[in-house]
Amino acid sequence: MNTATVDVSRYRSPLVNSYVDRADLHQVLPLETDEHVVAVRKAVREHAIDMKLSLVDQTKLVTAASELARNTIKYGGGGVVVLERLRDGLRKGLRLVFADTGPGIEDIELALRDGYTSGGGLGLGLGGTKRLVDEFNIDSRPGEGAAVAIIKWKI
């Protein structure tokens, strides 16, 4: 597992910290540029393969991660993703939290609606992502940032 340490101090905020500091066994990657999105896709693919997810599930997870990574950059002004391997009895999982220090998501229900976009996109990212994973949660603090958490389980 690639656990390269990156300086994410510029994205520190109470919201981001609550995710970055929570666990000791996780990986934190920056999200600022297209290269970072590529690196996140690669890291997620590697975890998915290691978890023995099917090729279809690998692709679903990488697609979900890509959408959220792009939102973090485009709407959150950059941020981090926290990657955390989970174990729950016989289940193995991967949790990804995309946390930024942007404006937050004012109306979560609206943001999740297919076709809603404030940035000239297709407005399919959040709703599509929710359908691609097992657990999906948005933690938004107006004016402070947004954290979108997803989990994919392998039974």
Ligand X SMILES: Nc1ncnc2c1ncn2[C@@H]1O[C@H](COP(=O)(O)OP(=O)(O)OP(=O)(O)O)[C@@H](O)[C@H]1O
| Contacted entry of Mg ion, ligand X, none for residue 103, CB cut-off 5 to 8 Å set by kind | ligand X
Min. distance of Cβ 54 from ligand X in angstroms? 25
What is the C-alpha separation between 93 and 53, in angstroms, rounded?
Answer: 10
DSSP secondary structure string for all residues of 3-38:
------GGG--HHHHHHHTT-SSEEEEEESSHHHHH
Q: Are 72 and 81 in contact (CB under 8 A)?
A: yes
Distances (CA, A) of 149 to 69, 72, 80, 98, 138: 11, 12, 12, 6, 6
Nearest residue (CB) to Mg ion, 71 versus 140: 71
Residue 129 CB, nearest approach to ligand X (Å): 7
Q: Which is nearer to Mg ion, 102 or 125 (CB)?
A: 125
Residue identified by tokens 């937050």 is: 104
By CB under 6 A, name the binding residues for ligand X.
Answer: 67, 71-72, 75-76, 100, 102-103, 105, 111, 116-119, 121-127, 146
- Closest contact distance (angstroms) between CB of 52 and ligand X is 29
Cβ proximity of 139 and 76 under 8 Å: no
Residues that bind Mg ion (CB under 5 A): 71, 125
In the complex, minimum distance from the CB of residue 140 to Mg ion, in angstroms, rounded to a whole number: 15
CB of 22 or CB of 131, closer to ligand X? 131
Give the nearer residue to ligand X in terms of CB position, either 58 or 72: 72
